[in-house]
Amino acid sequence: CHLIDYLRLSHHLIALNFLICTFDKMDFVSPQDIKITDTVFDGVEVRVYQPPAKQDEGLKRSVVYIHGGGWALARAKMGAYNNLCRIMAESLNAVVVSVEYRLVPEVCFPEQWNDALRATKHFLQPDVLAEYSVDPSRIAISGDSAGGNLAAAVCQQLSKDEHLTIRPKLQALIYPVLQAFDFSTPSYQQNMNIPILRRTVMIDYWIYYLNAHSDLAASLLMNNHTALDVGQAASFRERLNWTSLLPSSFQKNYKPVIQTTGKAEIVQQVPALLDVRAAPLLAEDETLQLQPKTYLLTCENDVLRDDGVMYARRLEKAGVEVTLDHFEDCFHGCMIFTSWPADFSAGLQTRNSYVKWLDENL
């Protein structure tokens, strides 16, 4: 990765990192009878949460969880995510596997995806599931923000792996980031300056994740990388045509920003911008048809709102059963804000709705 570029973090990213570190020091109140084990799945660190066995109980259901943080911040073991996974394990009486994938700047794409895929495939082995007393037919893969990105991309890969005998029953994506094709969707325009994820900050995350140079930020902001004369982008354009994928209530009065002439060299230098492993919303319909029943949580005050809504629509068109759970008064990242001094109603509301759906469908 370009370490020097990474160190030139905006003050917004520095503030986010400070916030995450603050959360990491908090002592969250959570269930005390959940067994927590730190182990390694195929070279990838994971934290496993196991509720106590009940008398005459059969196999448990399970959730593989991938945390957010722009592929660069947070940890599976930090207080907020540790709290979330413990509550999930207790509420669902499920085994929760939280993936501790490596972060920028230690590694860049596709290593985060590789880590999440390796850990998940290891867990899906029949002998490993048996070790944790997990029902192979009741497994979900889930994640928030950048973790939602990884969860969606891993789920797509698993669906195409002919050697797998066990695949997730569900995927549950929480305000996921799913594309770097269009940074002027209505939600990017509407929420460009809304904390905690401004549009320029999301572009920074993409640049660091894809190991690109920071001087590309202005061109990405203007969609120069997907201008009409950029041939590599042409085949993907309809898959992200928000004028047909978003309902009018989300489009509002915003207009598409499509440059006539741009910079084809950007996608030549950074081909991962159009790689479905990085941007699962770019996947072809044949891949989407293979996806499991899906939950998508989106927030109105979030630049990533339309990523989730477009993915929900494309999955529905491909024949997948989808629940789009949209929250008008909530913001990006709100689900981890559930404990003092940041115990927001938005966090509790979204978390409860997410856990309820898993409980009813897993």
Is 209 exposed, middle or buried, given 0-12, 13-18 or 19+ CB atoms closer than 10 A?
Answer: buried
| CA proximity to 282, closest of 245, 337, 254 | 245
| CA proximity to 161, closest of 275, 290, 314 | 290
Cα–Cα distance between 87 and 91 in angstroms, integer? Answer: 6
* Catalytic residue (choose from 302, 306, 307, 325): 302
Q: Which own/partner pairs from 254-258 qualify as long-range (CB within 8 Å, at least 24 positions apart)?
A: 254/185, 254/186, 254/189, 254/190, 256/182, 256/184, 257/182, 257/184, 257/222, 257/223, 258/223, 258/226, 258/227, 258/228
In sequence order, the β-bridge partners of residue 50 are: 35
Question: How many separate helices (H) and strands (E) can be counted in the chain?
Answer: 16, 8
Cα–Cα distance between 264 and 225 in angstroms, integer? Answer: 6
Cα–Cα distance between 134 and 322 in angstroms, integer? Answer: 25
187 is catalytic: no
67 is catalytic: no
The residue type of 251 is: Q
302 is catalytic: yes
> HSE on the CB side for 329, CA within 13 Å?
6
* Catalytic residue (choose from 145, 159, 184, 187): 145
* Catalytic residue (choose from 5, 182, 225, 332): 332
Residue 240, token pair as written in the block: 């992200």
Q: Any idea which residues carry the catalytic annotation?
A: 145, 302, 332
